[in-house]
Structure 1
């Protein structure tokens, strides 16, 4: 069967039309992250890419890695490709570059191995490899119309008809171009010493240039490439490293009509018996490369659904109900259930507040005025107007008993041109019963120009209390709100002309498409896009000019809040039910199988559950809050949160850490601690039964909490930072000799309420899973899993253990990894399955990569850390410290979305050996040491990285000299403090 026929058969089996153009498939992949569309691209162009990789490398396993790397590059660089036609020629160029890069790495590795081994015979390169290298090199130099005919038909295996359709040409034109290309290529090869006629050359290429791609490799490549495009670590580590290395040198943004910018030929290896004579052109890549100009990566935000929580702001004693970013993105305005308004500054390390203002009521919805000089805040009888600079109340816009839950602001309208003081301002506010529109002249707030009231439900009716959709057109034309009941007694959704119809409003419209009550709405600042969400989880996207539906999303729960970035590039939705889930996606459609960027395990099923979301103007920051007003009954336990997420940058090489300080802790302090927030540590106090809250930035103690008459042993915080587990030991009477064998109680605290449950008579605390409900302990010499909320035993390990050196829950809490002397036990406790892996060494630390795909195993002691792929159970990487000395690693932590692994080494040496202890930072893409932090004194006992990745914190044990706290800055920035008082995050939990 010919190559063209084979490709067509594969396409038909896949159920995808062979004529589906590359541009269409790429669009589906970019907008929906459609894995099948990407798999079709892999099937279409796989023979071309695989054949190229095999020709250069001559080894199938290595070609597999190179093949994956090529499509990894396509997945990441697809947003920057500017295609008029197909991508085959571009993929050919990338395949050459990737395969050459890998071949160079292999040669260097073999040279190193040979230098350390006994001399032995080395066979020359095979002549056929050199022959194909010349063909690829000369193809790169041919005119594009001829080159693309050869690449598509000969190397890609496409029929003349299919290539013609792809290029928009007649079939005869392709046939003529291909014949001419064969003649020119034969002439070029003749000048290089290879004598072949055009017919023989065509036959040779057609039978040998492509390679059949194994079906599993196609599906695996597509799946891993889609994950790679989202910044996740999947597939071959070699392929991932290759792709990232090639992307750094591949200029994609300038490509037009798949011009092969920067394409270089494969270097020629001249050997005896080769068909090629010496003196061929040199490879441009062998010359010193010029440093590329710094430029923003094209469409870098295509990783758009990768959001990282950067700040969590606590509100002890109240619940935040409303958030809004200022026009410059530097201020986040918040309002809460205590009727307090507070603007927060987030440009520094720690959240700060500028001022606080008490406006009254129990639902302070907030909004900036159009000119950002005023702040509007809801109270029981209307809206308070505050000065944005100092928070002083200027005036009230009263509407008795209105109890607003939402505020919308219209742009100011000039009455007289070029006279700023002659303008009008307008706002709309409302609740589930109706809305009020207020308009007034500038400077005359008390004498309102006009009031319009709309009623959406009768006074005796009981509508959904939190169904108050409200979104104002930034251009001032109209607003989206609930309209009066229709003939069937249902509320309808309006695009209501309470704005300026002369500016192009389509007029009053009924927006059809929701079956359930609409509870949220948002309008992009560019004015072109609006979104609405309902109680059943449907989100509809509207063209704001015509108010016609352009897309919809089904999220499966109550869409309590929506936000759209200024340019409508990103959309976010807070979905509330048994738990809260925050989704963020790019474009009008979410990714298939999209997962929430944040999950709040609290129960939001009460009637009065609310949420608020806001994007910063540049679309790179998202703030939000979600509450259930039933929590207001938790007297003494109430603590709400505002969370801020940032669009995660592509994982990058680790900058040089900057040491901030080393501080001696009080005598009797513990080396144990947990990072409570980005700016706060929780550490056992020197005084028994107490814990200290310590500022990360300077080591200062913020407050001390007394817990009881016991000493604190191990402390662990769940990955979601909501649950704190600690060992509590009863005091020991010094008069007793010898002291009795000690057991401890394990206390697990909900950090939101400070309630706790206790597991009695344990030998050790092992780990606590995200969500906090599953806690692993050792009791009566058995490993047990407990539900800390109900204090019930969930599971007892079906295996025995000898000596537990380390334990770690996977990020999803479903897998518990245990280091048992020289073995690794992987226990999928929900499935009642476990397996043992013989390590042949002791492992003193375990940590999962953020995506849960890899497990890092820290030695105790040994020469290297092992990284294990949990799908294959194979060790895929080994990290050493570059000193050829053993390491003893008691703890490791991932940062940079899993690209950087940090491990502390506290192996001890004889006094006469002057070797400092170290904290090592590895770049996992290369396996090389990125940085080493030499510690002049003290064993590093524990290390942690703050959730935002800015600080590395370590405790150093100096024996009789006590414990020191040492902190480094990881992001290359210097500490910065904005003017203003300490933010609410500095307040300890109650």
Structure 2
């Protein structure tokens, strides 16, 4: 076996272990043939079953099938979330079948003399499967029906669905497995099983052909069908999400080993009628990579100034902050000096107005020797000169650096107060960098402070405690303004206020990401995360919010939670985010030893 053949074989084997979302991201980022083939292997049989049942014509179903995968090849970047590609494909299959049926009717009329009423061509079979599934789902016991509705219809992650139902995730999985088994048996009794079986071999080969022609070389009926589906998607401005029960039927009845089937394959959107009106182009939102900043180790913090970028890498021989030109990404000829660097990752970097100062903070250690600190770098023509403030770790600070919040590190023979924060004024008002202590903040009820943020204008303080709550205070008086109660099992990984303190983002484990208004009411949920959200950032105007989960950065409308583009260009976990001043550029730092700058293209 030659080396290229062996390499492709190994890649295909590896692809079979990847999650659906990872396959979609890899195909989108790398145009990976192995990732595309694996998606076709997983969902090809069920997609072909949808086309064949709807059309009753094997050859026309093959054309519709190929059109589905041509659409996937062209529009994979629009699948939201990427892990829902199974439901997305089922929705496209329904639309491709509808387009093929309409094409067949048009050709049938052209062959007949005169003007005849529109009727289906011979061989078309009505599909009443959806109605049968609706009836059987409604007949399920309430506990099973609730599990199906949340996970299969609403498309919630299992962790979130389990939390909503108040049960363990393992219990939810058991209920779903039982529901699938019951549905499969009942649908077989209705005689639906034979209609969806035995289609695994041919579609995969057809999908390979579709992939090969997806770069614009598709022609004939397949191209006509694919373009028709794309026009329909634009006309309805459809965001194909897994919401129909029909896909559950296809997965449960049509494939053997249904208990091992990926969750995304068990859901799919309902058919959408083709509109007669002229298509209205949908606004396409993409974040395009402008340039990458190469490092020798992982990037732990980033900052986006008016004309400069800053990054911090810690695992190299000499941990350091680096400064770059924000226009082209070239290193700026500025020596960063006058301050020692920590061996732990920098927690935050921030430029002041006009890039006059850069602030860097790094964590403290509570139960060992203190190692935290804050460094302010002042820009002079040839360098950034820093003043070290040992033992002062700013947990949060205002944009003008005049207000700081920090934890008071333990002094010898003094206990650690995990429920306290300390507010300070500008410590650089004299040459000795003395702390200007203003007030002591104590979290209500003595709960430990987990995370905190100060709005850029210095007026609002948001604090997450280990009492499953996030509270917002007036930073001047420390009066509590409102409290957001979370589920007891919630694990918060970060809080972020907009510059004016009008909105608050809270992110955590299990894909948790929410935005709240200034009164503590939930504005929206930021959906589509597959794991722990580790970073969150607002644009300066508060209209956009970005989150980092794994290797993917997602951008949302901060009021409605509507997706506003996605960044999937990193090879490893993203650790830090920052918007540019106008909110149309974004920098992301990653464990993959790069920081990348992205530009909004719409």
What TM-score comes out, normalization by structure 2 length?
A: 0.46
What TM-score comes out, normalization by structure 1 length?
A: 0.31
Structure showing the higher strand proportion among its residues:
1
Q: Rg bigger for which structure?
A: 1
Q: Greater relative contact order (Cα 8 A, min sep 6): structure 1 or 2?
A: 2
